[in-house]
Amino acid sequence: MRGETWKYSHSPHGDGGPDRHRAELYNIEFDPEERYNLIDRPQYQAVVRSMQSELLKVMANVGLTPETDRMPLDEGIQQKLPDQKIR
């Protein structure tokens, strides 16, 4: 999810399990190279909640829910991933 100032992303896991990767929040106005993930900073939690809410609305508009939003992983790529916990 991207706005003029903020970019929020998360990567749902293809197997339906809990997300294994930390979500990301960047202030793209001041950090256009996305070097500083602000997701865990308390002062930005209102921004995180707002971006999550907007993402849920966009997903709903195309018929997705958090339960159906999957990022399937190609079997060949899955086998090549170096670490079992990210497969």
Instruction: Indicate whether 1 belongs to any domain.
Output: no
Instruction: Indicate whether 24 belongs to any domain.
Output: yes
**Sign of the dihedral defined by the CA atoms of residues 66, 68, 69, 74, in that order:** positive
> How do residues 22-37 score in pLDDT, each as one tens digit?
789 999 999 999 999 9
Domain range enclosing 12: 6-86
87 pLDDT more than 50:
no
Number of domains in the chain: 1
> What contacts 2, CB < 8 A, 6 or more positions away?
8, 28
Instruction: Indicate whether 65 belongs to any domain.
Output: yes
Is the pTM value of this prediction over 0.85?
no
Looking at every residue in the chain, the average pLDDT score rounds to 82
